Amino acid sequence: MDLGLADRTYVVTGGSSGVGLATVRALLDEGANVATCGRDAERLKRIGEHERLCTAVCDVRDADAVREFVRSSAEAFGGRVDGLVNNAGQSRMKRLDDTTEDDWRDELELKFAGVLNPLQAARAYLSASDAASVVNVNAVLAKQPETRLITTSAARAGILNLSKSLSQELASDGVRVNSVCLGLVDTGQWTRRHAAADSGLSYEDWQAELAADRGIALGRLGRAEEVAYAILALLSPRASYITGTSIDVCGGVGRGIL
């Protein structure tokens, strides 16, 4: 099936690694124009060059920098933005007694600014598109909190709630808003945790133990590409009647039925 993404323009935050990078590559493969950002110029450079790709060093918490990133991205591709993937971010492995005021402030700032800054910067362009779609990359934690990730779980729940409000608020402008809720996906986040754990296990054995410990029905971590395909499906004009919903991409780790 032709997803209808070719020649359209998509902004993906945090495209230098993991899910964001897989999404950038999948969109380029579909013939779309893509703009992406990250904080580290070297990591962005490693994506490689492509005539339909532009990159910028930009921290999603900085509203002015995000506005300039989105403006210059739209300018590079004929003054349009058809979709936005709010992906940049990370989680915080902390229990209540380990958290500080700064942990709570930083967590909420990153999660909320990571959605609101790009959205506000892209809003006028999205409203002008005939097939505008926003995808917020979230986590199953939003629906199924874990005490070992207490700040991230709470912030994720807030973002899922916000996504629903945004889908209602922006529907009259023709902008759809949906979420993908990730379980455990094999990306930089997990390679960093494997290194920090210093368990003596190979990365493969450590992952297998992790999958068993967390009760992942499919018995393995997900691959970034598997998330990217779900994101592309929601970005596609073919998903024109889907808004205000979330898709779990989690290998069955989610226990809820909603």
Ligand X SMILES: NC(=O)c1ccc[n+]([C@@H]2O[C@H](COP(=O)([O-])OP(=O)(O)OC[C@H]3O[C@@H](n4cnc5c(N)ncnc54)[C@H](OP(=O)(O)O)[C@@H]3O)[C@@H](O)[C@H]2O)c1
Which residues would be at the binding site for ligand X (CB under 6 A)? Answer: 13-20, 37-40, 43, 59-61, 87-91, 110, 137, 139, 182, 184-185, 187-189
222 vs 237, beta carbon nearer ligand X: 222
In angstroms, the CA 178 to CA 182 distance is: 13
The number of C-alpha atoms within 13 Å of 73 and in the hemisphere containing its C-beta is: 31
Tabulate helix, strand, coil % of the chain (nearest 5). Answer: 50, 20, 35
Q: CB 251 → ligand X: shortest distance, Å?
A: 11
CA torsion, ordered 50, 54, 57, 59, to nearest 10 deg: -120
Rg over alpha carbons for the chain, rounded to the nearest Å, is 18
In angstroms, the CA 73 to CA 70 distance is: 5
41 vs 124, beta carbon nearer ligand X: 41
4 vs 114, beta carbon nearer ligand X: 114
Q: CB 99 → ligand X: shortest distance, Å?
A: 17
Residue nearest to ligand X (CB): 18
88 vs 239, beta carbon nearer ligand X: 88
Q: CB 218 → ligand X: shortest distance, Å?
A: 14
Cα angle for residues 220, 226, 230 (degrees, 5° grid):
135
Q: CB 38 → ligand X: shortest distance, Å?
A: 3
Look up residue 79 and give its two tokens: 């003054």
Environment class of 257 (CB within 10 Å of its CB; exposed 0-12, middle 13-18, buried 19+): exposed
In angstroms, the CA 256 to CA 258 distance is: 6
Q: CB 186 → ligand X: shortest distance, Å?
A: 7
36 vs 236, beta carbon nearer ligand X: 36
Q: CB 139 → ligand X: shortest distance, Å?
A: 3
132 vs 137, beta carbon nearer ligand X: 137
